[in-house]
Amino acid sequence: MDIKVLKKDDTKVSFQISKINPSIANAIRRYILAYVPTMAIDEIEFKKNGSALYDEMLALRLGLTPLKTDLKSYKLWEGKEADRPHSAQYELKLTMNVEGPLTVYASDLESQDPKVVPAIEKTIITKLLEGQSIELIATARLGQGKEHAKYTPGLAIYRGVPQLTTTKDSNVTAVLEKLSEVIEKKGTGLEIKDLTRWNEAHEDFCEMNGIEVTSSKEDFIFTIESWGQLAPGEILKTAVEMFDAKIEEFETAIKKL
């Protein structure tokens, strides 16, 4: 297995992973979306809500607000809900006490832990008019995307590396003139020099000019875009670690047969 980083910044990473099969690629994607835990508001006690939004709508907006997550300080509860412990290892309190007229932002949530705060401070929650106010206590917990989408750490997609095949009838000149992403190499035909910019429009143009575009079954382009709870690299690392743990658990179960 080989991994090559194609493009990277604070919230998004694209990389090429080679010599695996589609099942492994899809397993990594599913573990990112469904199993990597993040912090999210799970329970709210309203003291006051004079806004135009019902309690349920305000709770929904706050629950979907991404919170920066510290996986080293908090534990994921995997037991029965009725037995969930109310301790600092499993939950965190955040408060909000604001009075209009003003725009209420995610940054108006005050956290007991400076490491767990809204990832996008300028997320608009609601607006308050003169005399309107909100006072609440929110409880944030670690959760997984398989339970609720609010715990999903970001977007994860993959596709097979495009492969271009030419014939004597292919209009190679037109493709090279139109698509700066494609280059010609002697002995290997056409190649894509920037996989991060390649899209379906490019493929359609190639096929219109007699160039066959197929997707590799063992080389893939992965893109992970974080919503802000975790860095893209930490998302991938956590997903792989959890995948490995599940494989080891499966091997142990097989040995007992």
Assigned fold of 2-34+154-225? Gyrase A; domain 2 (3.30.1360)
What pLDDT, on a 0 to 100 scale, did the predictor assign at position 186? 62
120-173 confidence digits (pLDDT tens):
999 999 999 999 999 999 999 999 999 999 999 999 999 999 999 888 888 988
How many other C-beta atoms can be found within 10 angstroms of the C-beta atom of residue 232?
Answer: 23
- pLDDT-wise least confident of 31-40, 105-114, 182-191: 182-191
188-211 confidence digits (pLDDT tens):
578 888 898 898 999 999 999 999
What pLDDT, on a 0 to 100 scale, did the predictor assign at position 188? 57
State the pLDDT confidence band at 187, using cuts at 50, 70 and 90. low
Cα 112 to Cα 82: distance, rounded to the nearest angstrom = 24
Measured between its terminal Cα atoms, the distance across the chain in Å is: 31
Specify the residue for token string 């999210």: 40
State the pLDDT confidence band at 81, using cuts at 50, 70 and 90. confident
What pLDDT, on a 0 to 100 scale, did the predictor assign at position 193? 86
Q: Which CATH architecture has domain 38-78+87-151?
A: Beta Complex (2.170)
Cα 83 to Cα 114: distance, rounded to the nearest angstrom = 27
Residue 23 DSSP one-character state = H
Q: Where do the structural domains in the chain lie, given as residue ranges?
A: 2-34+154-225, 38-78+87-151
205-256 confidence digits (pLDDT tens):
999 999 999 999 999 999 999 999 999 999 999 999 999 999 898 888 888 8
Q: String of b and e for 167-202 (b: at least 16 CB within 10 Å)?
A: eeebebeebeeebebbeeeeeeebebeebeebeeeb
Query: Whose CA is closest to 140, among 106, 119, 114, 117?
Result: 117
Q: Return the ∠ at Cα 41 (arms to 121 and 39), rounded to 5°.
A: 80
SS3 content of the chain, % helix, strand, coil (to 5): 30, 35, 35
Q: Tell me if the pTM is above 0.85.
A: yes
Cα 230 to Cα 166: distance, rounded to the nearest angstrom = 43
